[in-house]
């Protein structure tokens, strides 16, 4: 799923079109669902961030998976904001 959404994001970002807001919205919309769905894994009981055979890596006490999700989703939001701001 991550490869499909990543490929779709690249396609939408580089697609030749004069409608920049639609390109930005499409690319941002394709880039974020994977990481949003990863965050929802916390809602299911008895789930973990990693498979049991792997050691949970932490950054200042926070599981690395959450750090990566927050950083990536923040980058998508900031890039979309900058692109919409540049269009005006």
Q: Provide the CA 54 distance to its chain's centre, in angstroms.
A: 23
What pTM value is reported for the model?
0.65
The rounded distance, in Å, linking the Cα atoms of 53 and 15 is 41
**Per-residue pLDDT tens for 27-61?**
888 877 877 777 777 677 777 766 777 777 888 88
**Per-residue pLDDT tens for 67-88?**
888 888 888 888 888 887 877 6
**Tokens 């269009």 appear where?**
87
Structure tokens at 18: 């004069």
């Amino acid at each position: 799923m991550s490869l499909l959404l990543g490929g779709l994001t690249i396609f939408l970002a580089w697609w030749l079109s004069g409608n920049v807001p639609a390109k930005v919205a499409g690319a941002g919309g394709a880039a974020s669902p994977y990481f949003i769905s990863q965050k929802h894994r916390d809602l299911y009981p008895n789930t973990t961030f990693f498979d049991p055979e792997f050691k949970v890596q932490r950054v200042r006490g926070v599981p690395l998976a959450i750090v990566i999700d927050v950083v990536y989703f923040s980058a998508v939001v900031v890039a979309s904001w900058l692109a919409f701001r540049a269009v005006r």
